[in-house]
Amino acid sequence: MSVHVGEVIATRVVADGHRTVLIEVGKPGLSMDSGMVCAFRIQGWGESCAVGVDAIAALYCALAEIGVVLERANTDGHHFTVVGPADLGFPSPPIDRRVGTPAASYELGELIAIRSMTIADERATIAIGRPVHAADGEFYMCPFRIDGHPHAVASGLDEVQALLTALRMIGARLQLPADWPVSRAW
């Protein structure tokens, strides 16, 4: 499969010792084979991608794959850490279910992922907007909407953390398994 990141929707800067490394996540798109694909680039390591049944699953799988690449690199002698007051933060089993509570309200904006699903015999549509800088310029906000629930926003130190927080908040609100973007337990 040919890999091209395309439109970057989220970034994270990590450090490998004294060297900074930029991670870029592309907007999920249609896969040539089937489903959706989400490409990502780790500066100095090249581009790769992950696939999923829809945009939410592909995005989640890409974030998880980035975590696997960085963990593997750390096992092989690298020293990847997040630049700033956080851990690497990419999902890996078991997934931390802590959620944040943002204090601001943002419009959904540019839609980057959507999923319709049935939970307890009720149909729900989940829409995730592109992460944006918060009004204070210090944090990033990731707006999302679940049919039948109030419009919500997740926050993070960067776009990746805001996306992960949004995924965790959605899972918590709908009482889904921690790995709900890829699991079939709902």
- Domain boundaries in the chain? 8-82, 111-173
- How do the residues of the chain divide into helix, strand and coil, expressed in percent and rounded to 5? 20, 35, 45
Q: What does 13-65 look like in DSSP terms, one character per residue? A: EEEETTEEEEEEEEPPEE-SSSSEEEEEEETTTEEEEEEESSHHHHHHHHHHH
Each residue's pLDDT tens digit in the chain (186 positions)?
567 899 999 999 999 988 999 999 999 999 887 789 999 999 999 999 999 999 999 999 999 999 999 989 999 999 888 766 555 666 654 433 333 333 334 578 899 999 999 888 888 899 999 999 988 788 899 999 998 777 889 999 899 999 999 999 999 988 899 889 998 755
In residues, how long is the chain? Answer: 186
Q: Which residue has the tokens 């992460």?
A: 131
- Which of these, 62, 70, 65, 63, lies nearest to 43 by C-alpha position? 70
> Of 2, 11, 23, which Cα lies nearest the Cα of 157?
11
Q: How far is CA 121 from the centre of its chain?
A: 27
Distance of alpha carbon 98 from alpha carbon 21, whole angstroms? 27
